[in-house]
Structure 1
């Protein structure tokens, strides 16, 4: 079983319901394939490891890119950690906002070529830190941008705030895609 199928199976068997949809994963794989040699990819919200599995699939046989994935919940992170990930994958149990703040202290120009923001920390809270962590010409991918009928009203409002911040940000060029759960892709100027 490949990494992506194994990750979906882990998510299902552990009862983790919030993994990225296959269309989103396919887009992540495509974006990862374009990351420059020596580049850095960041995922905020490891979950069961579905997103990071798609990123690794996109890299194929490449080992010249570092993939860091941050998960706040230790129990959820333990589910993803059961996989034998390639050596260039770094799974961390950490608070995304603390991680981003520390990263920004060590890199004035941004540290990441591709960021998939899929957790409240760095997406709903601290989006400014996530944007600052992008290198110039770096790409930020954010999913769940199309409101679903079963979303609570306060969640719809928060997600719309994220969407507006991305599409209106003066340092980003953004496009809204009706893909998967709704995506916003943003490139830092």
Structure 2
């Protein structure tokens, strides 16, 4: 895909990630999926990103929301330096970058219409907390699920556990998409 069709804020965050040597940003296909799903968040909706990193995922989410001030985006980052760097961008006022331990804070945050789980907490551990934070009919996106990317048995076991949990959780209807870094998308059943 041409860089000319990548949103400006995404390009800024990608340049910052490269300058900082941060190599864990979400891939373009994941970002485009996030933008598409964010565009469908209902009025007054809430979006949560677990793992701000350099801000690339949040920038894709914002690009899908365009100028919708009726939606809030909260992105949580454990590393204070990364969070501070991410705060330097010109985010809309409805975006908040917060330093937080996801597993400690998640139970107090309420429910969300879209969650992108891209951090250790809330994905590799505490996944049940993340699913519980989804609104009925909310959507969960988890990336980095391609087993072939992990040389260590320990990492492959972790990925398999996350994939199996998402696919077998009776609260979710899920699909495993073997594209990009390996993407899982799940919708929470209505109560």
Tell me whether the two structures share a fold, i.e. TM-score over 0.5. Answer: yes
Alignment of 1:9-48 (within 5 A): 9-48=15-54
TM-score by length of 2: 0.93
Question: Is the 1:69–1:91 Cα contact (8 Å) retained in structure 2?
Answer: yes
Using the alignment, how far apart are the partners of 2:140 and 2:61 within structure 1? Answer: 13
Question: Cα deviations across residues 74-104 of structure 1 (Å, max 9, x unaligned)?
Answer: 111122111121100010001001111222x
Inter-partner Cα distance in structure 1 for 2:178 and 2:43: 30
Question: 1:3: which partner in 2?
Answer: 9
5+ residue gaps in structure 2?
A: 1-6
Q: Give, in whole Å, the separation in 2 of the partners of 1:116 and 1:58.
A: 14
Q: Which residue of 1 aligns with 2:57?
A: 51
Per-residue CA deviations over 1:91-136 (Å, capped at 9, x if unaligned) read: 0001001111222xxx4xxx10000000010001110000000000
1:151 positional shift: 3.5
RMSD: 1.1
Structure 2 match to 1:157:
157
Superposed CA offset, 1:28-73 (max 9, x none): 0000000001000000000000000000000012111000000001
Q: 1:134 to 1:55 in 2, by over 3 A?
A: same
Tell which deviates more after alignment, 11-20 or 177-186: 177-186
In 1, are the aligned partners of 2:150 and 2:156 still within 8 Å (CA)? no
20-29 vs 146-155, which deviates more? 146-155
Instruction: With the length of structure 1 as denominator, give the TM-score of the two structures.
Output: 0.94
SS of aligned partner of 2:187 = strand
Aligned 8 A contact 1:14 1:79 in 2: no
Query: By how many angstroms is 1:149 displaced?
Result: 4.2
Find the aligned partners of 2:150 and 2:107 in 1 and give their Cα distance.
33
User: Secondary structure of 1:70's partner?
Assistant: strand
Shift of 1:150: 4.6
Distance 1:81 1:148 in 2: 34
Q: Does 1:68 align with 2:61?
A: no
Identify unmatched segments of 5+ residues in structure 1. Answer: none
Determine the C-alpha separation between the residues in 2 that align with 1:160 and 1:116.
18
| Helix, strand or coil at the partner of 2:147 | coil
